[in-house]
Amino acid sequence: MSLKVGFIGWRGMVGSVLLDRMRAEGDFAGLEPVFFSTSQAGQSGPPEAKGAALRAAQDLDALSDCDVLVSCQGGEYTQTVYPRLRKQWSGYWIDAASTLRMDPQAVIVLDPVNGKQIQTALDRGIKTFAGGNCTVSLMLMAAAPLFQAGLVEWLISMTYQAASGAGAAKMLELVQQMKELSSAATRTPAQNALEVDRAMTEAQRSTELPQAEFGAPLAGSLIPWIDKAVPNGQTKEEWKGSAETNKILGLEPPVPVDGICVRVGTMRCHSQALCFKLRREVPLTEVEQLLASGNQWVRVIPNEKEASLHELTPTKVSGTLSVPIGRLHKLNMGPEFLGAFTVGDQLLWGAAEPLRRVLRIVRGEKAVASTV
């Protein structure tokens, strides 16, 4: 009998990347998929629905009929539906939202890093799995071996986060802002940089620039604040860096992780500048070997201009599962201080891919090699 898997939030950013990846990897074979919607019940679903109408995502009985539920719908939905559903249903819940990540009964999934923890949890009867914060997952895909070798005393991560991390509407607003700025520039003689700059700045400051989503211009600028404030001066995004890193790796005592999270005008790749304080002096060649051994998607990029320009950018990485880490060098602060820079597609390893893979693991399969 095939496994009945319900998908909620499948038409959003994360959900549609998840479905694309499942198609590319042949993951629908042997599944009986059921598609839900909070707003379009009764309408048609994707091709895999084979003509069946979308079910209402608030219908607890329809949800309970599934063996596994995969939700990419968002935190509010999880908060409302999950506790009520759990009173009548004991299936597997796989979720992109942050709501359940710190629940002691839930595991944050990133199987190339914590596959053993996921398997142990399954063996113990744990049935709730949450994808991690995109920035944390991408940092760990690149750098987990340093933590796992017990080498990290603390980490500062300064992030450069893409618009897609905030959802589809924000990506579209960024593009709209870009269009407005370039049209302001094209109305100005192109050979005069100062005049072009003046026209661009005027367009950025204009009340006509669409900014309902971000609340500020992002094109040609940046926003040094992501998510809401938490009491100690951090943002929630910055708080997640420490909380989720330590939970995913099961570190005890916890390793301090902190930094400043910044939204920049890239579409779907997050980048991070990392400063590690190592517990001891480790030669760079050893660091490089450790990092390269982490998983099959990480790539250590030589700390050279050409390689950094061509291999270590959002443009290169976008739409791929590759996670390059480069700019590796000892910092002026001393031989235990290591600098690095890493880039990753936050819709793939940052969101959809860990969910896709944990669904396969729940189905009892070993994670398969990916084709991207």
Give the catalytic positions in this structure. 134, 270
Across the strands, what pairs with 68?
5, 92
Neighbours of 236 (CB within 10 A): 15
Nearest CA to 233 out of 210, 255, 258 is that of 258
Using CB under 6 A as the binding rule, whether residue 13 contacts ligand NAP is answered as yes
Contact segment (CB under 6 A) with ligand NAP among 110-118, 286-294, 301-309, 345-353 equals 345-353
Residue from 1, 39, 194, 369 binding ligand NAP (CB under 6 A) = 39
Closest approach, Cβ 300 to ligand NAP, in A, equals 25
> What string marks each residue from 70 to 109 as x (binds ligand NAP by CB under 6 A) or -?
--xxxx--------------------xx------------
Note whether 40 binds ligand NAP by CB under 6 A.
yes
Q: Is 314 in the site for ligand NAP (CB under 6 A)?
A: no
Task: Single out the residue of 321, 331, 18 nearest to residue 155, CA to CA.
Answer: 331
**Of 343, 372, 353, 356, which Cα lies nearest the Cα of 142?**
343
Residues 6+ positions from 91 with CB-CB distance below 8 Å: 64, 66, 67, 68, 69, 127
- Two tokens at 26? 């042949």
- Taking the complex as a whole, the smallest distance from the CB of residue 235 to ligand NAP amounts, in Å, to 14
For the bound state, the minimum distance from the C-beta of residue 97 to ligand NAP, rounded and expressed in Å, comes to 3
46 near ligand NAP, rule: CB under 6 A: no
128 sits near ligand NAP (criterion: CB under 6 A)? no
Residue from 164, 204, 245, 295 in contact with ligand NAP (CB under 6 A): 164
Is 11 among the residues that bind ligand NAP (CB under 6 A)? yes
Q: CA 18 to CA 15: how far, in whole Å?
A: 5
The span of 118-126, 148-156, 165-173, 184-192 binding ligand NAP (CB under 6 A) equals 165-173
* Strand, helix or coil for residue 116: helix
In the list 5, 57, 109, 181, the residue contacting ligand NAP (rule: CB under 6 A) is: 57
Residue with smaller CB distance to ligand NAP, 229 or 292: 229
37 neighbors 9 (Cβ within 8 angstroms): no
CA quadruple 137, 139, 143, 144: dihedral sign: negative
Query: Of all helices (H) and strands (E), which one includes residue 329?
Result: strand 323-330
Q: Give the residue among 17, 13, 62 at the shortest CA–CA distance from 35.
A: 62
Site size toward ligand NAP (CB under 6 A) is 27
Which residue among 5, 6, 7, 15 contacts ligand NAP (CB under 6 A)? 15
Is 37 among the residues that bind ligand NAP (CB under 6 A)? yes
Report the amino acid identity of residue 43.
Q
Min dist. Cβ of residue 82 to ligand NAP (A): 12
Distance CA 290, CA 293 (A): 5
| Spatial CA neighbour of 164 closest among 242, 226, 108, 236 | 226
351 binding ligand NAP? (CB under 6 A): yes
* In the block, residue with structure tokens 């450069």: 160
**Which residues in this chain contact ligand NAP in the complex, by CB under 6 A?**
9, 11-15, 37-40, 57, 72-75, 96-97, 131, 134, 164-165, 167-168, 346-347, 350-351
